[in-house]
Amino acid sequence: MISNLINRKIVTLLKVQYSNMLEYRIEIALWAISGIIPFFMLNIWTSNNLNESINISDIMLSRYFLCAFFVRQFSVVWVVFSFEEDSLMGKISPYLIQPLNPFFRYFAQHLAEQITRFPFALIIALFFFIFNPESIWIPNLVIFFLSAISTFLSFLIQFLIQSVVACLCFWTEKASSIERLLFIPTLFLSGLLAPVVSFPDHVKSWIYLTPFPYLIDFPANLLSGNETNIIRGFSMQIIWILLLFPAFKKIWSVGTKKYTAMGS
Amino acid sequence: MNLKKYLKVYTKFLHTSFASELEYKANILIDFFTAILSLIGSIFLLTIFFQNNGIIGGWEFKQALIIQAIYTILNGITNTWFNPNLTEIVKHIREGTLDFVLLKPIDSQFYISLKKINPSGFLEIILGLCLLLYCGRINQINFNFSFITLSLITIICSICILYSLWFFISTTTIWFVKTWNATEVLRSFLYIGRFPLSSFSFSLRIFFSVIIPIAFITTIPSEVFLDQSQLWQILLEGIVATVFIFTSRKFWLFALRFYSSASS
């Protein structure tokens, strides 16, 4: 009965958000294009033979960056910006009355957006293969399944981090600058611009304890068939989720108690 | 006479936007940290690229740092002036408040491009300048008058090109209403301005110098700074900048003919 209700809610939310997202197809296509930074990075790596130092062949590196592109496409989160806008505009108040945590709404929004973006990402990948035909490969089903899960876990970690930051809106009104601050380590340490194996040793000694390599580097390595520690990857992802979820619940309950709608 | 009026108006703009930005003091502090971290991250990425053989596309590390410095300065300028103003165009058009701008007895492009400033970009400009001075020392450049004027001219040309690119995209809002993601695409393309143009493959080099002249923006000023540039490059940059500024003006006036306010 209860699970039925939850199912219905989730399906409805997804449907609503998906049709909403379909209205902005061009925007989402542009967004997909804006994620092609990994390909520029790949270009630098291969045009300068930088991969010699890390013992990865050109082909494996191009697969890595293609996978990094895909993982990024399916783990981008922008809760902070939605939540900040909604809370500044006072839209949060009606959401709070409803018997559903508003973050479910954002969650559905993100999932719907990912579904809408999928065809565009495929088209970009197709172009990538036309230009780099030697890098075509088909991962086996188990690997594909595992990397889909780890991409989803990476999305969950980022969603939780951003949700915690978004809840700071209850105190500061402008949480997006904190998000921008957090984005910097995500950008440079997650493996989007350079695979984590290429980092100097003094960085590698501590980076695997932070959540960053598991956001892009781990799922991308898994999918592309590069060497990676699967057990450590999954357990670290789960540990970070288990750490972040209670933090989010706590800050949400404290924040909603503190919340006063704009103008009241 | 006219110039005097615009200067006076501009000092008023500065005054009001400073006052409103300083309301969020904690935000400015966080943005400062973001700027510093972002520079550290970029240098970290450069060291990874250079750890192999010390040369990328014919540039040494200490030379590539100059590109980084100029990129930081330009990014600071973007964050201080272009970003806050030109994203506002979208809002003006969506809410129909562009009418008020057009009715004012000053030039609409002037108003729309310079109304606001975001002071946190200043730190980036200062950081970039410090890095540039440091680069001057480690590259053993002796600063003489003609050299400084030439660098300044090329940097001003870069700023003009950068401004025009942003302005073009923002102006297309008049037709497409939402261009948030188009600016994201521009941002991700601008990202490659951190690296020397010669480090990319031939096809990308053509793309980034002919179709979107991002190459001009950072590489040519850096070459001038290193005293490695040819006269034709500087002339070409000057021509491109003039053409861009001129067309952006024409494009704005053209676009305004298609503007119909929200209620009419």
The 10s digit of each residue's pLDDT in B167-226 is: 988 888 888 766 677 788 888 888 888 888 888 888 888 888 888 888 778 888 888 888
Report the run of H or E that residue A107 belongs to, with start and end. helix A102-131
- To the nearest whole number, what is the mean pLDDT of chain A? 87
Q: Return the percentage of chain A with pLDDT > 90, whole number.
A: 41
Q: Which residue of B has its CA nearest to A29?
A: B181
Min Cα distance B4 → chain A (Å) is 36
The 10s digit of each residue's pLDDT in A110-166 is: 888 888 888 889 999 999 999 888 888 888 899 999 999 999 999 999 999 999 998
**Interchain proximity B56–A44, CB inside 8 Å:** yes
The 10s digit of each residue's pLDDT in A210-242 is: 999 999 999 999 999 888 899 999 999 999 999
- pTM given for the model: 0.88
Q: Which residues of A touch B181 (CB under 8 A)?
A: 27-28, 30-31, 34
- Kindly indicate the confidence band of residue B262, based on its pLDDT and cuts at 50, 70 and 90: low
Between CA B246 and CA B249 the distance in angstroms is 5
Q: Which residues of A touch B45 (CB under 8 A)?
A: 188, 193-194
- Kindly indicate the confidence band of residue B141, based on its pLDDT and cuts at 50, 70 and 90: confident
How many CA within 13 A on the CB side of residue A171? 12
Strand B59-60 relative to strand B55-56: parallel, antiparallel, unpaired? Answer: antiparallel
The 10s digit of each residue's pLDDT in B28-86 is: 888 888 999 999 999 999 998 888 777 888 888 989 999 999 999 999 999 899 888 88
Q: What's the pLDDT score for residue B239?
A: 92
The one-letter amino acid code at B49 reads F
Between CA B181 and CA B107 the distance in angstroms is 27
